[in-house]
Structure 1
Amino acid sequence: MLTGTLPPDAAYAALQAHDARFDGRLYVGVTSTGIYCRPVCRVRLPRRENCRFFATAAQAEAERFRPCMKCRPELAPRPLAWTTMDASRTLAQQAAAWLDACDDADASVEDLARHLGITSRHLRRIFQAEHGVSPLQYLQTRRLLLAKALLTDSQLPVQDVAYAAGFASLRRFNSAFLEHYRLQPTALRKAGREAGGAVPASRLRLAYRQPYDVAGVLAFLAPRAVAGVEVVSDTGVTRSLALTHRGERHAGWLRVGFERPGEVGVDLSPSLWPAVGSLLPLLRRWLDLDADPESIAAALGEGAVPGQRLPGCLDRFELAVRAVLGQQVTVAAARTLAGRFVERFGEALPGAPEGAGRLFPTPERIAAATRDDIASLGIIGRRAESLIALAQAWPTLAFARREGDPEAAAAGLTALPGIGPWTAGYMLMRGWSWPDAFPPGDVVLRKALAAAAGSDGPPLSPKAYLDAAERYRPFRSYAVLHLWRHA
């Protein structure tokens, strides 16, 4: 029974209670049907002796169980990508995050090991110990579950589903599907539609653990929304985006809506559907859908907002530019500068919804700009130079797109001109979704922590500031938003 530290009887009790706290952390394989489910599944409760419990979907599929058509394991929240555990477990989690974002159909264990700076033998050992399957089994399950979601929720032709999910060919896709699910992809699409009802249009569905502070997330994003790129409403966000998938650039628009408890609906322009394999982990990180709200609330203590999330980003370069533009100015001023920046250097996106008709400027476009080009927008000269240096260096930065050690990324960022520890810390929080970052020297946070300690005197010293933040480990990034919110 591969359930981590949860005993089988406790796992069965969670299944009986449909306990959403274990969604994405526990799966049940039913031996009488050969199907595996999420603990929140509402089908008839299986007998205890027919249940086998697993910590991941990959473990269930390695034991030849097929995903349920009703509860759809591919929609479940995932474990946190970053952890503050011991070194081996952290490496294993970072390896899984790399595989989640992998768009190379021919990716190998050796490629991943080189990226992490360890041997492939050590990688296999720590990955098996943490996840219960090999890296390639994990990657195969991720691709198959993504394909299952696309077959159910989109109108993409089967060949396009195979490509979007990361398979090198339709033949390999059909072979893997038959081997694991004992169904042709077209048969699964038909069965999925019969189980859940036909969908009128292509739409992704992404699950999260409740509670989720929807109002708080949208209130954080709204004042930072850049004109021309994104629009925030009371129920969601519409924005433009360009990303690279399997070596090709895809530009379009997306709309996320919080319309049903426990689930986000995502509408995509036709141009982004082929890149959905690369987009999906970005969406989950951007909206912090894999967070553990119970543990976060316990770390924040009294006054914590139920379901607080840490909004991430869809494009690290975009966030880095916006962080530089926001140095030593208000949020409103940074938003104004970013809007001018997009208007001058951003590419038009024809056919996009109102307010999302421009793409954020690319590193190549900014690298070719002059200091005077940027400074003419009201951006001080030194900051303009920082943006050009950042753009010129970006294609060569190993940490810019791939998963890896966030603290090494922070060191790489601070080596660039104009990016100090505070900006790097902010990038760790939102660009890498690192749960335990704490930007040094933040005046608002120093005052807030002094007030929390019962002092009405001056802000805390730098050392006392970091010491006071220790109480929030391992969720100091969430504490930053918590303290900003209540300051």
Structure 2
Amino acid sequence: MQSQTPIHEQDYYRALAAKDARFDGVFFAGITTTGIYCRPICRVKTPRQTSCVFFSSQAAAEAAGFRPCLRCRPELAPYNLQQNLAHAIWHRISAGALNEASVEVLAEQVGLSSRQLRRVMLQEFGVSPIELAQTQRLLFAKKLIQETHLGMTEIAFAAGFGSVRRFNALFEARYKMTPASIRRLQVTSQSQQGITLRLAYRPPYAWNALLRYLHGRAMSGLEQVDLQQGCYRRSVQIDGKCGWIEVSHLADKQQLLLQIAPTLSSVLLPLLAKIRQQFDVEANPVVIAQHLRQDPLLAQQIVRTPGLRVPGSFDAFELAIRAILGQQVSVAGATTVSGRLVHKFGALAESPWVGVTHHFPSPERLAGLSVEEIATIGVPKTRAATIQHFSSFTVAGGLQVQAGISLEELILRLKALPGIGEWTAQYIAMRALRFPNAFPAGDLGLQKAVSGEASQLVARCTEKQLLLRAEAWSPWRSYAALLLWQSLSDLPEASAGLIG
């Protein structure tokens, strides 16, 4: 979609000439003299403005006949997702929603007619859902060709193509080259243990702060956070496939480095979508910081930890159960009982690490247990009953959130379940379901951070007072919460707060 006015085109050309990373993924530049489209950070010589056409997505550029640059690789650009229905649908398509299902099925899942769905995507991106899906498949296949040693057949099916013939034909028609012709550009250093891939993000990224947050909440047997090596490891179950992943940081390249078990090669597309969500790769920290730094308290923490992300979850059900186990107990206490749950009810897993031995128990497994059985991990029967109810809710499709649902609607749905209060519902919305404006105002740690109770200057503010102050932080209240928790991280009493 050639979607910008001449005024915007002038601004975008300036960003292109400056190689400004803040615009990476926000727009793509099609170069009419070469027929290639680039990211704004591409290091090639900047073309004349009269030779540039600007697009809001890779799909729009390819629909206009441009091919992706082999140097800056548009498939590596961080996503520019907005908080609207069209981008929520785009997210599902990018994770492979149309690889096996039809547009009609996707439309039903998001609560639209197929005609409405096509209109929404055309208005936002300038292409149909099918064209968008084809672009994502081709770019992902190109990524796998250049970054892995997977065979072309494996790549074709991992990218969502129904046949190798269809993959080759569409690749050649769109990119004017064969898949094999770009294999020479792939990286040569691959892990002996698994598949190596990369995910780009917009800087800055407070990687160490995020790792410390995950370290304090890592469930024994399921996850392992190595602070010395700066990496996160865990077992994985997805679409019937089992394996493991390791995520580390390439600060100089502004990328996350992924090591992935070979057994997961057929589910790489949905797997990467989950990793993006867990590590909040799609955040635009500059935009978020510009808004939140208007509050002096948050501004101080932004200076100390620029690029702080909201740690998400690899699996929404897993995080929701972790949140239930964290009700009215310390972080350390919730982490302990979560580990017991994994070891007692989770299936055994194979991994290269002695600390990653189990998978998280499935919703079906926990829903089928009695309250008494769940309570043996050391939780009250009322909390065990909540876990059982929530597991049944998940089995029935309760966590399959409709695209475009409001935060208020979601919170009401969650709070209708036995044992789920405001704090738990907001925490699940914030970390598991990625609502950037979710805010667990009943959290003791947040109230301490705002009131200054940690230094015993004033009395702790109430939940109502905190909500009132947080109104100015919308629509990024979740990021404000992380900044406040981070401000307490060096204090002894922080570990006793209700910080999930």
Q: Please, what TM-score do these two structures have when normalized by structure 2?
A: 0.89
**86, 91, 104: which one aligns with 1:92:** 86
What CA deviation, in whole Å up to 9, does each residue of 1:59-109 have, x standing for no partner? 1111111111111111110013x51xxxxxx11121112212234424333
Instruction: Name the aligned partner's letter for residue 216 of structure 1.
Output: A
2:163 is matched with which residue? 169
Native 8 Å contact 1:406 1:428 kept in 2:
no
Residue matched to 2:219:
226
Partner of 2:282: 290
Q: 2:248 aligns with which of 223, 248, 257?
A: 257
Q: Secondary structure at the match of 2:263?
A: coil
Structure 1: 5+ residue stretches without partners: 84-89
Q: 1:123 pairs with 117, 121, 134, which one?
A: 117
| 1:231 Cα deviation after fit | 1.2
**2:434 is matched with which residue?**
433
SS for the counterpart of 1:354 is coil
Equivalent positions of 1:286-365 (< 5 A) are 286-301=278-293, 302-303=299-300, 304=302, 305-365=305-365
Kept in 1, the 8 Å contact 2:250–2:257? The answer is: yes
Contact 2:446 2:484 in 1 (8 A): yes
1:451-479 Cα distance to aligned partner (Å, 9 max, x none): 49x99544334433211101111100001
Q: Which amino acid aligns with 1:102?
A: G
Q: Match of 2:19, SS?
A: coil
Matches within 5 A, 1:88-487: 90-190=84-184, 192-193=185-186, 197-201=187-191, 202-234=195-227, 235-244=230-239, 249-261=240-252, 262-301=254-293, 302-303=299-300, 304=302, 305-400=305-400, 403=403, 405=405, 407=407, 408-451=409-452, 456-487=457-488
Q: Which moved more, 1:365-374 or 1:376-385?
A: 365-374
Cα drift, residue 415 of structure 1: 2.1
User: 1:259 deviation in Å?
Assistant: 2.7
User: What TM-score does the superposition give when structure 1 sets the normalisation length?
Assistant: 0.92
User: Which deviates more, 422-431 or 434-443?
Assistant: 434-443
CA distance in 2, matches of 1:283, 1:353: 19
Q: 1:173 to 1:402 in 2, by over 3 A?
A: farther
Distance of 1:328 and 1:273 partners within structure 2: 40
1:62 aligns with 2:56: no
Show CA shifts across 1:171-214 (max 9, x none): 22222212211222222323x33xxx534343111100011111
**Larger CA deviation: 91-100 vs 123-132:** 123-132
**8 Å Cα contact 1:316/1:401 also seen in 2:** no
Shift of 1:393: 2.2
User: What corresponds to 1:86 in structure 2?
Assistant: none
- Equivalent-residue separation in structure 2 for 1:399 and 1:110 (angstroms): 21
Tell me how far 1:398 sits from its aligned partner.
Answer: 4.6
Question: Aligned letter for 1:313?
Answer: S
Report if aligned partners of 2:316, 2:399 keep a CA contact under 8 Å in 1: no
| Contact 1:288 1:310 survives alignment (8 Å) | yes
CA shift digits 1:25-72 (9 cap, x unpaired): 111111222111111111222232222111111111111111111111
Greater mean deviation of Cα atoms: 67-76 or 112-121: 112-121
Instruction: Note the alpha carbon deviations across 1:351-404, whole angstroms, 9 max, x for none.
Output: 442211211111122122222222122111111111111112212125337755
Range with greater deviation from structure 2 (459-468 or 151-160): 459-468
Structure 2 segments unaligned to the other structure (5+ residues): 294-298, 489-500
Report the residue type matching 2:238 in the other structure.
Answer: L
Secondary structure at the counterpart of residue 435 of structure 1: coil
Using the TM superposition, name which of 417-426 and 390-399 deviates more. 390-399
Quote the residue 2:497 is aligned against.
Answer: none
Q: Do 1:240 and 1:352's aligned partners in 2 also have CA atoms closer than 8 Å?
A: no
Amino acid at match of 1:146: F
Structure 1 contact 342–359 (Cα < 8 Å) conserved = yes
SS in 2 for 1:272: helix
In 2 relative to 1, CA 121–218 (structure 1 residues): closer, same or farther, beyond 3 Å?
same
Measured against aligned partners, the alpha-carbon deviations of 1:334-361 in whole angstroms (never above 9, x if no partner) come to: 1100111111011111244221121111
* Amino acid in the other structure paired with 1:263: Q
Conservation of the 8 A alpha-carbon contact between 1:346 and 1:359: yes
Give, in angstroms, the shift of residue 123 of structure 1: 2.4
SS of the counterpart of 2:213? helix
For 1:345 and 1:399, locate their aligned partners in 2 and report how far apart those are by CA, in whole Å: 21
Percent identity over paired residues: 41
Separation (CA, whole Å) in 1 of partners of 2:342 and 2:45: 53
Q: What RMSD, in angstroms, separates the aligned Cα atoms of the two structures?
A: 2.1
How far apart in 2 are the matches of 1:143 and 1:337? 41
CA offset digits 1:155-181 (Å, max 9, x no partner)? 111111111111122222222212211
Instruction: Determine the C-alpha separation between the residues in 1 that align with 2:292 and 2:99.
Output: 41
Distance 2:182 2:67 in 1: 11
- Contact between 1:399 and 1:409, CA under 8 Å: does it hold in 2? no
Local SS of the residue matching 2:391: helix
Contact 1:27 1:38 in 2 (8 A): yes
Q: Secondary structure at the match of 1:160?
A: helix
SS in 2 for 1:206: strand
User: Would the aligned equivalents of 1:29 and 1:60 in 2 still touch at CA under 8 Å?
Assistant: yes
CA spacing shift, 1:352–1:402, aligned 2, 3 Å:
farther
Check the 8 A contact 1:3/1:26 in 2, yes or no: no
Separation of aligned partners in 1, 2:458 and 2:50: 63
What is the match of residue 87 of structure 1?
A: none
